[in-house]
């Protein structure tokens, strides 16, 4: 039995069979370009698999060494990969600049950092393992653009030819000349390896005069002021001062390029992965450096606590109460994971969990309440009464007490909303209820929240709280 086959057999012990079957076929039969930076959500859709189980499967496959994780900083504009990292800990810059879009961005974990999976070289060697041997078109497809750009399998080369006027491979230390006729278009000379760009605004009366332009590619030069030129002949002298091969490409920034970049699809964000229970279980503390402060523009927090747990211990005794509380934790953990969330920590009898969207938090809260009712009915008691509070908003992901945690006012509000909650109603803020999917979920279940304004300790203005019956 080969080492790879043995690893797949081990994977079957932790991932669902349908995922392992699809992945094994993919590794064996798919073209090289399909095995570099795999979009887990697109893989799930293609093979009609559950997204959460697919993500869990890729995480287990990475833990076994079948695949490698990559945390890629993306440009929100063009979808290009501005920086590729093997660990989230190395995402340290306060701002990233896209030369192609001539724009700078502060990184957030929501839509600017994607997580992809690449087959390990020991399992199968693919072209992307040697990116500096790829053609320019394949470098753009496999290395430059992120997994959220939905590049076509068919006619990709033809689509690229529609906007690329010239391209060449320039080895380290070499010089070359690109000679071409400039059309009356907005033209970008873009180098995807060093991320350098020069914009040319080509307009006016055509000329037969040959113009000259010199460009040097290295790791420091990114972008210069736009140059205005007339249509006509241009001679571009390019020099590669970097230590790797470069791919200077002359592109028309017109409808063909925008049409290609406009093809978008969902991808696995760092935010979603950090709120995945399987990820937290496998990677635990090895996620964020102790000095990092990574912003998230929107995350949903759910806090729970058992009402009257002190009286419970006194009423039924320490051992019986401990077993009950342990059962309650097990049920809550299972529900959180099933709703694409993750338990961040437990504090006494309380749980702090995160979800990528408010609707998943509400779905989890309703299931938690129903599960506690069922446990109480089975015991003919009211021992497990759960208080639940939910809030959504921005926060910062941090490493605290050797654990990946969250910090910010959103966390404080969610905790205080839980303290106000009753054992029979779920309390959620207006930020949660205004989410369309959350509102739709409550409507579908016939739940009509009642609203009232409250003042929370440490919060200047009153906030609206919705009690979900």
Give tens-digit pLDDT for 361-418.
Answer: 999 999 999 998 898 888 777 777 899 999 999 999 988 877 889 999 999 999 999 9
* Residue 293 pLDDT grade (very low, low, confident, very high; cuts 50, 70, 90): confident
103 φ/ψ angles, rounded to the nearest 5 degrees: -145, 150
**How much is the average pLDDT of 155-175?**
94
1 pLDDT more than 60: no
Task: Calculate what percentage of the chain has a pLDDT beyond 70.
Answer: 97
pLDDT at 221: 63
**312-331: average pLDDT:** 79
Q: Bridge partners of 37?
A: none
pLDDT tens digits along 328-358: 899 999 999 999 999 999 988 899 999 999 9
pLDDT number for residue 354: 97
Asked if the model's pLDDT at residue 309 lies above 70, the reply is no
First CA to last CA across the chain, in angstroms? 57
pLDDT of 144: 96
Three-class secondary structure of residue 311 per DSSP: helix
Does the structure show a pLDDT above 90 at 286?
A: no
> What pLDDT is stored for residue 295 in this prediction?
93
Confidence (pLDDT) at 366 = 95
pLDDT for the residue 300: 97
| Backbone phi, psi, residue 74, to 5° | -105, 150
Token pair belonging to 38: 């795999």
Residue 222 pLDDT grade (very low, low, confident, very high; cuts 50, 70, 90)? low
The residue with greater pLDDT, 320 or 392, is 392
Over range 222-228, report the average pLDDT: 81
Sign of CA dihedral 430, 351, 409, 462: positive
Confidence of residue 61 (pLDDT cuts 50, 70, 90): very high
What is the reported pLDDT for 223? Answer: 66
Please give the pLDDT value at position 263.
Answer: 93
For residue 284, is pLDDT > 80? no
Mean pLDDT of the chain: 91
DSSP 227-242: EEE-SEEEEEEEEE-S
Q: Which pLDDT does position 458 carry in this prediction?
A: 74
Checking if the pLDDT of 455 tops 90, the result is no
CA-based nearest residue to 96, from 120, 119, 80, 117 = 80
pLDDT of residue 385: 85
**Helix pair angle (358-379, 436-444), 10° resolution:** 30
Tell me the pLDDT tens digit for each residue of 179-221: 999 999 999 999 999 999 999 999 999 999 999 999 999 877 6
pLDDT in tens, 103-144: 889 989 998 999 999 999 999 999 999 999 999 999 999 999
How many residues are there in the chain?
Answer: 469
């Amino acid at each position: 039995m080969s080492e790879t086959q043995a690893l797949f057999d081990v994977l079957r012990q932790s991932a669902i069979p349908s995922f392992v079957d699809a992945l094994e076929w993919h590794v064996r039969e798919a073209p090289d370009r399909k095995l570099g930076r795999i979009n887990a959500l697109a893989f799930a859709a293609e093979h009609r698999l559950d997204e959460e189980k697919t993500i869990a499967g890729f995480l287990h496959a990475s833990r076994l060494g079948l695949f490698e994780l990559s945390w890629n900083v993306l440009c929100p504009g063009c979808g290009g990969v501005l920086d590729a990292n093997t660990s989230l800990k190395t995402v340290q810059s306060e701002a990233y600049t896209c030369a192609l879009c001539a724009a700078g961005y502060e990184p957030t974990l929501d839509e600017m950092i994607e997580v992809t999976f690449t087959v390990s070289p020991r399992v199968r060697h693919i072209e992307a393992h040697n990116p500096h041997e790829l053609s320019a078109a394949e470098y753009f497809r496999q290395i430059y653009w992120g997994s959220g750009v939905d590049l076509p399998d068919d006619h990709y080369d033809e689509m690229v030819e529609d906007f690329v006027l010239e391209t060449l491979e320039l080895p380290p230390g070499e010089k070359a000349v690109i000679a071409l006729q400039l059309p009356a278009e907005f033209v970008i000379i873009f180098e995807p390896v060093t991320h350098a760009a020069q914009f040319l605004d080509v307009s006016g009366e055509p000329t037969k005069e040959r113009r000259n332009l010199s460009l040097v590619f290295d790791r420091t030069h990114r972008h210069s002021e736009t140059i205005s030129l007339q249509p006509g002949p241009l001679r571009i002298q390019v020099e590669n001062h970097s230590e790797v091969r470069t791919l200077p490409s002359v592109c028309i920034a017109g409808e063909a390029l925008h049409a290609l970049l406009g093809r978008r699809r969902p991808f696995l964000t760092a935010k979603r992965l950090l709120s995945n229970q399987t990820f937290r279980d496998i990677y635990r503390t090895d996620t964020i450096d102790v000095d990092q402060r990574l912003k998230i523009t929107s995350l949903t927090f759910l806090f729970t606590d058992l009402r009257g747990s002190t009286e419970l211990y006194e009423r039924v005794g320490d051992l019986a109460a401990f077993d009950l509380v342990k059962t309650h934790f097990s049920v809550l953990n299972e529900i959180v994971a099933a709703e694409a969330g993750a338990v961040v920590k437990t504090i006494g009898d309380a749980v702090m969990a995160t979800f990528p969207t408010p609707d998943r938090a509400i779905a989890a809260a309703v299931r938690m309440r129903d599960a506690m009712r069922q446990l109480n009915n089975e015991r003919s008691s009211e021992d497990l009464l759960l208080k639940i509070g939910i809030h959504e908003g921005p926060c910062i992901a941090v490493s605290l007490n050797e654990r990946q945690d969250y910090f910010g006012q959103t966390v404080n509000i969610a905790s205080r909303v839980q303290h106000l909650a009753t054992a029979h109603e779920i309390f959620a803020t207006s930020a949660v209820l205004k989410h369309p999917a959350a509102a739709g979920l409550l409507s579908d279940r016939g739940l009509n929240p009642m609203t009232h304004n409250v003042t929370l300790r440490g919060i200047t203005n009153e906030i609206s709280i919705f009690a979900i019956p």
